[in-house]
Amino acid sequence: MKNAILCCAGCGEEYGADAWRGLPWVCTLSRADVHRHVLDWPKGRVVEVRLCQSCGQSMARTASAAEVSSPAAPAAPLRTAT
């Protein structure tokens, strides 16, 4: 998987794939949601919306449905070795 870079339209902040996953999640638009507006939408693609941590503007990117299957779940918590 390539390390996609996303640039905030509001402030120009750039995020790599890992940084993107750490941003506050807003919503994920399913194919059905997008299909109301875009008739020719590829199967298995969704739109993931997150907030820019610099300016708070929402940003969207497309992703595979499998990639964002549990968007509300935070990344696995880091556990410090004892």
Number of residues located near Zn ion, criterion CB under 5 A? 8
Among 55, 64, 65, 69, binds Zn ion (CB under 5 A): 55
Minimal distance, residue 8 CB to Zn ion, in Å? 3
Q: Where are the beta strands (DSSP E) in the chain?
A: 6-7, 14-15, 25-29, 45-51, 58-64
**Is residue 9 within the footprint of Zn ion (CB under 5 A)?**
no
Minimal distance, residue 11 CB to Zn ion, in Å? 3
CA distances from 45 to 4, 5, 26, 31 (A): 16, 18, 17, 6
Q: In the complex, which residues of this chain contact Zn ion (CB under 5 A)?
A: 8, 10-11, 13, 52, 54-55, 57
